[in-house]
Every structure is written in structure tokens, then in C-alpha cells.
């Protein structure tokens, strides 16, 4: 069985972080895990499909949950012959 495909998510809690996750629920869980017990009551997770939607300070940073050394921008830059990223029809969800 192959690993699930991870997509880039922007997760906003009391601060912003980027994580690689299979879906928005896992993105929220990873954000809370990496927040070092600063878990908020609410968190927003939004799939990022275009590098222009990456916060400037995260453009060359490695997202949480990544398994390689690709920056947020590199993750969204298509490799020759690759398919475009999966687009989540529910772009933003509130988690409580």
C-alpha cells in the first residue's frame, strides 16, 4: 500500500504555520501537535494551491509534516510531466 498523497495546507491558529497532510483534518491535528501544547480551541486549515498564497516568511521554509527537504514554494512548483495538484472543493473549514 502506498502512502497517501500529501497536500500543502495553511493552518491558522493563534499564529500561522504550513503543514503537509493528507487532508484538512490531519492538517489541523498536525498543527496542534507541532504547536507544542499551545492548541487553540479553533483552527482554520486551507489547502494552498498557488505559491502566491504562501505567506512571505514561509516561502522558503520547510512545512511541518514534510518528509523531504522541499520548501513550501518547491512543493507547489510542478515538476515536468507531473499532474496539477488536487484541489479541495471545500477550501476552508472551521475546526472546533
Q: State pLDDT tens for residues 36-68.
A: 655 556 677 889 999 999 999 999 999 988 888
Cα–Cα distance list, 2 to 5, 6, 23, 83 (Å): 9, 12, 16, 18
Residue 91 has pLDDT above 80, yes or no: no
User: According to the model, what pLDDT value does residue 93 have?
Assistant: 44
As a whole number of angstroms, the distance between CA 59 and CA 39 comes to 24
Single pTM value for the model: 0.60
User: According to the model, what pLDDT value does residue 12 have?
Assistant: 78
Query: At a CB cut-off of 8 Å and minimum separation 6, what does 23 contact?
Result: 7, 88
Amino acid at each position: 500500500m502506498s502512502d497517501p498523497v500529501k497536500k500543502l495546507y495553511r493552518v491558522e491558529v493563534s499564529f500561522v504555520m504550513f503543514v503537509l497532510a493528507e487532508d484538512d483534518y490531519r492538517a489541523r491535528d498536525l498543527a496542534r501537535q507541532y504547536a507544542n501544547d499551545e492548541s487553540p480551541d479553533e483552527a482554520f486549515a486551507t489547502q494552498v494551491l498557488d505559491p502566491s498564497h504562501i505567506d512571505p516568511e514561509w516561502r522558503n521554509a520547510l512545512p511541518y509534516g514534510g518528509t523531504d527537504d522541499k520548501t513550501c514554494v518547491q512543493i507547489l512548483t510542478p515538476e515536468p510531466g507531473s499532474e496539477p495538484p488536487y484541489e479541495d472543493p471545500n477550501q476552508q473549514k472551521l475546526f472546533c
